[in-house]
Structure 1
Amino acid sequence: MGTTVGSNAASTDTGATIEPGINNAMVDRLDDVELGWRFKAVPAAAHGQSAGGYVNSGVHLADLQTPLLTLDAAVMAANVDRMARWCAEKGVLLAPHGKTTMAPQLWRQQLENGAWGITLANASQLRVGHAFGLRRVMVANTLSDPQAVTWLAGAQGPDFSVVSWVDSLQSVALLDATLAAIPEAVPGSDAVLDVIVELGGNGGRTGARTVAEALAIARAVHASSHLRLVGVGGYEGSLAHTADAGALGTVRGYLSAVKELHEHLLAADLYAADADIILTAGGSAYFDDVVDVLAGSATNGTSPSGAAGQRVELIIRSGAYMVHDDGFYRGISPFGRGAEAEAGHAPFASAMHAWARVVSAPEPGLAILDAGKRDLPVDEGLPEPQLLGHALGGEMATLDGATISSVNDQHSFLRYDPETTTVAIGDVVRLGLSHPCTAFDKWTLIPVLASAADDRVVELIHTFF
């Protein structure tokens, strides 16, 4: 089960306690999915078999086909455990952003290792979570589509707790009007939605731009008969993209404003009196700064405003830590730099690799691979050539000095030194990738290998983008 993170049960407005979880039967049923042409990693020889049956037949890396994305089970387990232990040490909760993988099998692994719940980004992702029986979800966005709001009003209940965000007076008015217009005959027509007021920053993404604006929004929520204010939060990752002193100063200044907003809301008694209060921020790049700045505001007991028994929980929402990468997050993760690295926290390791085959060698020092933008993420850096071998699953050697110079829709350009490296048609290259969020969305089925030393396929991960 791994390390349990903190006290992660949440109270509803009826006094019931909702435990985190997912419908295990629904997740297990993915093993029954019939393999076929829809899954590009699976060879034709496997078509007609169930996913679970195929894995149990004794599949290895060599039995798959390129282009291919694989995951490493041992690395994912180690990354999840490392993050769970860190959160337990810091006394914070984790609601990993499920949009990174959109893979219920991986969500379950995170929940079994103590996650408070799963964060999602929009209504379509929320429906996926509901279909697989997620019990507790944070939607880190404003729900502005009336159909989505109406659906949620009827779907939430004792087994499905959702908290979403608001960042404007208009969004509060829209939610109010939509909920008020639901016919009495519709289940959930008297539902009250739990919301968090979001503070943003200049040049950032969503969120009120000033504490004063956010306070006005909070007052509007407090006055609403359809909404309940249960927290404050935001996202610091859109305000910086590096770990230099200037970027970290921007991040920490923003987080200080989030803290200030929370203190104003407590002082004004704007939080719902029967709610556990949520204080949330933290992507995968600056979660250490989030905890450093905001942890003092999380009480895990009586709130500073004196409301007996009202908890203030700090929840981070890092999503990339489980899979990590060989690019952007490798360079910026707190466990790879700064105080956390100095404190002895081992860095996360990349659990994802791409495998591509040489289909053409038209010039000396140039090989064209059979994987492109349809298969590989490129938004946070080009793939990194790592290993070269004559066959998938065969012996591979380190590919020193090679680069991917560009990526087309279906091809990548491998540049290498022909004086020191020989590349032939049919050779296979293992690639390191940057940014798991834009790797997973290109694959409906992802084989999981046991470890770097054991290339048995131990699971097939299904994604739902």
Structure 2
Amino acid sequence: MSASYDAAAVAALADQPVSWQDKALPPAFWGRTVADVLAGKPRLSDLPTPLLTLSAPGLQHNVETLARWCTEHGVQLAPHGKTTMAPALWAKQLDAGAWGITLANVFQLGVARAYGVSRVMIANSVVSPLQLRWIADELAADPAFEVMVWADSVRTVEILQAARSAYVDADARPLDVLVEVGGAGGRTGARDVETGLAIGAAIADASTLRLAGVAGYEGAIAHGADEAGLEHVRSYLRDLAAVHRGLHYEADVVPVVSAGGSAYFEQVAQVLAPLANDGARVVLRSGAYIAHDDGYYREVSPLGSTPRTNGDGLIPAMHGWVRITSQPEAGLAIFDAGKRDLPYDEGLPEPQLLRPRYSRQRPRPLEGMTVTKLNDQHGFLRFSPDGEPPVVIGDELRVGLSHPCTAFDKWGLIPVIDDPDADDPVVVDLVRTFF
């Protein structure tokens, strides 16, 4: 059963005014509500650069594609909401059947609670007593609210138990805890099956906790999609399954077995989906898929440029728009976007289109150009120093981006356009983020 959310609270985002804090919008729109701005059907040419936009058809395609893929492969989806931190986009994912929303910390959980998300997995250990008390209060106040946290050591379990036992009554709802399984060279998580089983036993013995399953993140185990890397991922997932099989759950618990970022979810389904036949709930947590990209995930996603599974391919649904501001030397142009505006940790922006310079022109594909560096607020575009330069000061370019997780956090309000390939796309939505 899909998690629910507060549809009225999400709809009320349209009543919020925009202001000077929203760098995606020009001063002419400040003081107007989101709904009022959209009623005027603004176009891309009405917005300043630098800019990040989302593609409405791309978002819809990606949400529907992964929802369908999960159904066909016998797994459920709790998309990682930290990618977008946008309740309006979480709502699209939940409307498409997502079992819940995954988040990374208690601040993000607070956003989810403000918008009524009823089922959340925190893909992390929570060891702050103050935060654990707040979670206890939320569980007590709302019987329909479900939250799961992770633990990768017996010490973590002891902290959870101590904080809760000092604060909650004996009849309080227990906190659901998943054993986190890691791997050598990875991030957090128990490094071997024996440690994982010991953590599970400690959770089961704690009076204020409930053993609810196992989880982990295979994306920290391997980079790339060569066969050796994929086998490394599968080996890790087999260890995760072994921990699950060795745990002893209460009779009324449907154990959650969760893995799966946006790079190897087909491997997760291959190894873990059969556990559903024994009563487990196998849950993917892919997050970047909703926007996909023109960089890292284009190359490594199972539904990317080199697919490793059946199903429709994902579509890049985020783009940057930049303007040439300087041509200080032959073969170099500087544009008005930098690290404060565009992601760069998994690859630099990719020049794609030159926007029309004059009316009745069409966007023109760009070739022979490379973004070589980003400063805080400047980008370096290199091309052949010979002949007529392909761009001039004032030109507006569309660039492809890599890594959605470090794109959304740079923008508090993101325009959604109807067609990123159009001469002058129409803005059909404005998505508010909370970072």
Rounded to whole Å, the distance in 1 between the matches of 2:99 and 2:129 is 28
Deviation at 1:192, TM superposition (A): 1.1
Q: CA RMSD in A?
A: 1.7
**CA deviation vs aligned residue, 1:298-334 (integer Å, no higher than 9, x gap):** 12xxx4xxxxxxx311100000111000000000010
Rounded to whole Å, the distance in 1 between the matches of 2:182 and 2:421 is 45
TM-score scaled by length of structure 1: 0.89
What residue in structure 1 maps to residue 303 of structure 2? 335
Which moves more between the two structures, 157-166 or 427-436? 157-166
**CA deviation vs aligned residue, 1:149-193 (integer Å, no higher than 9, x gap):** 100001023232101111100100000100011165xxx983310
Deviation at 1:98, TM superposition (A): 0.2
Q: Does the 8 A contact of 1:62 with 1:391 survive in 2?
A: no
Deviation at 1:272, TM superposition (A): 2.4
**CA deviation vs aligned residue, 1:244-292 (integer Å, no higher than 9, x gap):** 1221111011001011111111xxxx21221111111000000000000
What residue in structure 1 maps to residue 380 of structure 2? 413
What residue in structure 2 maps to residue 312 of structure 1? 280
Deviation at 1:337, TM superposition (A): 6.2
What residue in structure 1 maps to residue 362 of structure 2? 395
What residue in structure 2 maps to residue 3 of structure 1? none
What residue in structure 2 maps to residue 161 of structure 1? 146
Q: Supply the AA of the counterpart residue of 1:279.
A: V
Q: Does the 8 A contact of 1:179 with 1:189 survive in 2?
A: no
Q: Does the 8 A contact of 2:20 with 2:30 survive in 1?
A: yes
| Equivalent residues in 2 for 1:50-449, closer than 5 Å | 50-156=33-139, 157-182=142-167, 190-265=172-247, 270-299=248-277, 303=278, 311-336=279-304, 340-341=308-309, 343=310, 345-390=311-356, 395-418=362-385, 419=387, 421-449=389-417
What residue in structure 2 maps to residue 6 of structure 1? none
Q: In percent, how many aligned pairs have the same letter?
A: 50
1:72 to 1:250, Cα distance in 2 relative to 1, 3 A: same
Rounded to whole Å, the distance in 1 between the matches of 2:427 and 2:39 is 9
Q: Does the 8 A contact of 1:448 with 1:461 survive in 2?
A: yes
Rounded to whole Å, the distance in 1 between the matches of 2:358 and 2:124 is 42
Deviation at 1:389, TM superposition (A): 2.8
Rounded to whole Å, the distance in 2 between the matches of 1:76 and 1:29 is 21
Question: In structure 2, the residue corresponding to 1:59 is in which secondary structure?
Answer: coil
Q: Does the 8 A contact of 1:385 with 1:399 survive in 2?
A: yes
Identify unmatched segments of 5+ residues in structure 1: 1-8, 10-18, 304-310
Deviation at 1:336, TM superposition (A): 2.8
Runs of 4+ in structure 1 displaced over 3 angstroms? 337-341, 390-395
Question: In structure 2, the residue corresponding to 1:335 is in which secondary structure?
Answer: coil
Rounded to whole Å, the distance in 2 between the matches of 1:421 and 1:278 is 57
Rounded to whole Å, the distance in 1 between the matches of 2:180 and 2:259 is 10
1:44 to 1:166, Cα distance in 2 relative to 1, 3 A: same
What residue in structure 2 maps to residue 306 of structure 1? none
Deviation at 1:364, TM superposition (A): 1.2
Rounded to whole Å, the distance in 2 between the matches of 1:392 and 1:282 is 46
Deviation at 1:417, TM superposition (A): 2.5
The total of aligned residue pairs comes to 429
Rounded to whole Å, the distance in 1 between the matches of 2:244 and 2:340 is 43
Q: Does the 8 A contact of 2:136 with 2:168 survive in 1?
A: no
| Equivalent residues in 2 for 1:41-56, closer than 5 Å | 41-56=24-39
Rounded to whole Å, the distance in 1 between the matches of 2:412 and 2:19 is 12
Rounded to whole Å, the distance in 2 between the matches of 1:318 and 1:392 is 41
**CA deviation vs aligned residue, 1:16-67 (integer Å, no higher than 9, x gap):** xxx5111011111111111110000100000111011101111111111000
Q: Does the 8 A contact of 1:390 with 1:426 survive in 2?
A: no
Q: Supply the AA of the counterpart residue of 2:364.
A: A
